[in-house]
Structure 1
Amino acid sequence: MADLPFGFSSGDDPERDKRRDDDSGSGSGANPLGSFGISGDFDMADLGQLFTRLGEMFGGFGTAMAAGKDSGPVNYALARQVASSSIGATAPIADTTKSAIGDAVHLADTWLNGTTALPAGTTNAVGWSPTDWVDNTLETWKRLCDPMAQQISSVWVSSLPEEAKTMAGPLLSMMSQMGGLAFGSQLGQALGHLSREVLTSTDIGLPLGPPGVAAILPDAVENFAAGLEEPRSEILTFLAAREAAHHRLFSHVPWLASQLLGAVEAYAMGMKIDMTGIEELAREFNPATLADPAAMEQLLSQGVFEPKATPSQTQALERLETLLALIEGWVQTVVTAALGERIPGEAALSETLRRRRASGGPAEQTFATLVGLELRPRKLREAATLWERLTQAAGMDARDAIWQHPDLLPAAEDLDDPAAFIDRIIGGDTSGIDEAIAELGRNRDIDGSDSDSGETGRSGGSVDN
């Protein structure tokens, strides 16, 4: 993991002291929100709204505790507010643009019909502004972020010795509230940034938006197209084809979304914290630290609560990386087959997107920051090669039939050796059959021995075949 989950610091940050001085200074560049994880470029005009939100949180803290209410590990109301402030005002999408997006998705779906056995999965084609993207994907981000945030907030508390818990007392609940604010503000910043970068609702390979809704972000597409030589209409059709191809998978492979989100949850649940650091901290624990934001920042930056990778996390990460690579590789294969002879710039556009992913673009960086997982786009090329060769060897029907069950999909090692996987598909995977025959043979031997013993006892000899 190159990036720690949001809310953590590795402790190796030579710029921290400088930022702290900037954030706490009295000059015009001071940032009073630094303690809440909000960067210096935050719109200061929105301070009133944020302080109102903070006042509501502190004002209702006692009531929430008395009622036993839990605001959750992430303050999503704050995340939504910070994201909106980061995005700012956006112009409405013109009707002509909406019509062009609808036409592009319809055309792409028509062409995809000849390159995949999976039927169309889009029921509506829309244009989204950055704000629309945040509003329509926030529910999925909750499912992605909650497991990691919940585990972060609960694991270290549960790991504290009882003495430290007693000393902290009700301040632990306050810390949970503050953690929700910190996570929420960082999530809002990340979503605000990502909303201006993503091209479609499936740009990071996950089904973030509503099912069946093919969404394209015109402003981001315009920025993406700047400097490219291909016509805007071809770029739009290319992106529409990728969006439509993703929706075919997510709509007609019912287990796919749950497998993706399940891998994220499994990764979070496997988190462990080094108890050595916790025990050392407990010996010198001072409850007054919890009331001092600067002391808390210094405490958290020491890396004491830094999660340690575990074998279960490694396995979950491998499953997620492999599945995302297979999705992206399949999309690239069917889109290239559908557009390759119709759009001259398809190869160049595919290569541009490949480089965008391989360089760790904003989507990968944001995913790593929010969820604590770093995707390895180097596997995308291997996955595309596997699907292309399988299509040539077995045809698109056999290729797409593999999505019927997760156990049929290529494993991580198959991406490095696609020939063996393709041979199994073409010749039929007989490993299960061989095992069944061997088991049947063992059962027959046992039955035969019993039968022979019985016949011998009755007739004094073996059965004459």
Structure 2
Amino acid sequence: MTDNLFDRLADLFRSPGPVNWRLAREIAESSAGNVEPVDPWLDEEYRDLAATAVRYVDAASPLDPVTAAVSPRILDRRGWASAAADGLAYLAEPLAAKFGAEGPAPEMVQMLAPALIGLQVGGMVGALSHRIMGGFDVGLPPARPERPFYLVPNIEEFAGKHDLDRRQVRLWVAMHETTHVAAMAEPWVREHAVKSMSAFVASLEVDEEAMTTRLEMLQDPEAMQRLVEGGPAMPPLLAARGGAEQLEDVRTLMSIAEGYAEFLVDRCVGNLIPQAAALREAVDRRRAEPAPGEQMLAQMMGLELDHARYRLGTTFCQEVARRWGDEAVHRLWESPATLPRSGDLEDPVAWAARALL
């Protein structure tokens, strides 16, 4: 955080509400860094590739890409961070309700909890702004249909770091983002995801020791900086007392969305992305690396995104296509009854016995 932001913290802490969204946005923007304008020609290229991806998904998939066809947001890190915090309200605001009259120093908890949650949400969003390439990359389902977005500096940096053809990477990202947006725009898919996440959040309980530690950190600027940046490993602020099944449902859904996007890349634009194998390997390596934003999510609510499962979603779709054909893969999005369960990712035969017969 900048010194100027620290100087304004006393004022920011006074913002009303169960979550201090004003503080969350300020922290997110400060962590994201300065504005990085996207060159007009690059903006136009992303829009062209996004439109191309919409046409391919519309032609090859039962998903309706009408939401994805809306003009995409071509963003820099700060542009995304300034708007992204509010999208986590469906998770953050129920968390705020956990900080009631029980636990350590209840009056102090109720006074500082909105700022603490805002601080951690803002820090998490700011950290993610340096990593994600689009909505498909966040790892959490959206609470409502969202426009596709492309976080240009991260996409370009990823392509350069791994010596990949930039236009191929942009098209790969556009296919993944379009598929993700179209899938999450399906009312039953989004309802299933949000319901599962809400059930997981409902199972969380405040860890009193972790809460006390964080309250003490709010009184020390250096400690607060560590809190915003993720700092050293800390126990989760809230710990799950159940909810494992619901969390697995969300992880499975996100894995299937990723695997289905890979399936469409192969079927629709495989010939346009000759570096696809190298690109996927680079994505897998990147996801295996610790990500500060994801670590902060784990520290806040014990939620591990488990990106390793994304590869299971890809192999599942490949195996279903090999055994029963492409039409069987498309049936994933038919209804809640055909959506794979957690164990199905490693046992597509079990899924087929339930969904195809």
Shift of 1:416: 2.1
1:295-349: CA deviations, max 9, x gaps? xx9xxxxx99965543x32222222222222222222222232222221011211
Alignment partner, residue 213 of structure 1: 147
CA distance in structure 1 between the aligned counterparts of 2:266 and 2:293, rounded to whole angstroms: 22
1:178 pairs with 89, 92, 112, which one? 112
May I ask how many residue pairs the two structures share in their alignment? 337
Q: Quote the Cα distance in structure 1 between the aligned partners of 2:71 and 2:57.
A: 16
CA contact (8 A) 2:128 2:292 kept: yes
SS in 2 for 1:124: coil
> Runs of 5+ in structure 2 lacking a partner?
210-214, 224-233
1:125 and 2:125 matched: no
Distance apart, 1:198 and its partner CA:
1.3
Report whether the alignment pairs 1:112 with 2:46.
no
Does the 8 A contact of 2:179 with 2:257 survive in 1?
no
Find the counterpart in structure 2 of residue 191 from structure 1: 125
Report deviation, 1:213: 1.9
* Distance verdict in 2 for CA 1:192–1:374, change over 3 Å: same
Contact 1:202 1:208 (C-alpha < 8 Å) held by counterparts: no
> Retained in 2: the 8 A contact 1:133–1:201?
no
Aligned with 1:324 (options 248, 251, 254): 254
Corresponding residue number in structure 1 for 2:274: 344
Kindly indicate whether residue 91 of structure 2 is the aligned counterpart of residue 144 of structure 1: yes
What is residue 244 of structure 1 aligned with on the other side?
178
1:264 aligns with 2:264: no
* 2:274 maps to amino acid: P
Letter in 2 for 1:241: M
Tell me by how many angstroms 1:186 deviates.
2.2
1:346-398 deviation line (CA, Å, top 9, x unaligned): 12112221222233435533442444311222322222222122223333333
Aligned CA distance change for structure 1 residues 226 and 366 (closer, same or farther; 3 Å): farther
* SS of aligned partner of 1:92: coil
Answer yes or no: is the 8 Å Cα contact 2:203–2:243 preserved in 1.
yes
**Residue type matched to 2:132 in 1?**
V
Residue of structure 2 in register with 1:80 after alignment:
25
Partner of 1:453: none
Corresponding residue for residue 225 of structure 1: 159
Do residues 43 (structure 1) and 2 (structure 2) align?
Answer: yes
Question: Which of 384, 389, 395 is the aligned partner of 2:319?
Answer: 389
Assess, with a 3 A threshold, how the Cα gap between structure 1 residues 340 and 359 changes in structure 2: closer, same or farther: same
1:392 and 1:351 map into 2 onto residues whose CA distance is 22
Question: Within 1, Cα distance between the matches of 2:239 and 2:169?
Answer: 43
Partner Cα distance (2:92, 2:236) in 1: 18
Is 1:235 equivalent to 2:169 in the alignment? yes
Q: How far apart, CA to CA, are the structure 2 residues paired with 1:149 and 1:76?
A: 12
Q: Secondary structure at the match of 1:91?
A: coil
How many Å separate the matches in 1 of 2:134 and 2:40?
18
Shift of 1:178: 1.0
| CA 139–423 in structure 1, closer or farther in 2 if over 3 Å, else same | same
CA contact (8 A) 2:50 2:175 kept: yes
- Normalising by structure 2, report the TM-score: 0.83
In 2, the alpha carbon distance for the partners of 1:348 and 1:118 equals 28
Give the match for residue 441 of structure 1: none
Instruction: Choose 360-369 or 217-226, whichever is displaced more.
Output: 360-369
Q: Distance in 2 between matches of 1:147 and 1:175?
A: 15
Q: CA RMSD in A?
A: 3.0
Matched position secondary structure for 1:202: helix
The answer to whether the 8 A contact 1:242-1:332 is kept is yes
Aligned to 1:10: none
- Tell me how far 1:128 sits from its aligned partner: 0.9
CA 326–132 in structure 1, closer or farther in 2 if over 3 Å, else same: same
Counterpart contact for 2:130–2:154, Cα < 8 Å: yes
Taking structure 1 as the reference length, the TM-score comes to 0.65
When residues 87 and 227 of structure 1 are mapped into structure 2, their CA distance, relative to the original with a 3 A threshold, is closer
Aligned-partner Cα distance in 1 for 2:325–2:196: 30
CA contact (8 A) 1:129 1:218 kept: yes
Distance 2:207 2:276 in 1: 49
Unaligned runs of 5+ in 1: 1-41, 58-69, 278-288, 298-302, 429-465
Rounded to whole Å, the distance in 2 between the matches of 1:307 and 1:329 is 31
Structure 1 CA distance for aligned equivalents of residues 34 and 354 of structure 2: 55
Work out whether residues 50 and 178 of structure 2, in 8 Å CA contact, stay in contact via their aligned partners in 1. yes
Tell me: CA distance 1:71–1:50, structure 2 relative to 1, closer, same or farther (3 Å).
Answer: same
Find the counterpart in structure 2 of residue 418 from structure 1: 348
Match for residue 102 of structure 1?
A: 47
Q: Which amino acid aligns with 1:137?
A: A
Contact 2:141 / 2:194 at 8 angstroms: preserved in 1?
no
Contact 1:97/1:127 (<8 A) preserved = no
User: Residues 195-246 of structure 1: CA distance to partner in whole angstroms, max 9, x if unpaired?
Assistant: 1221113312445497352211111112211232322111111111111111
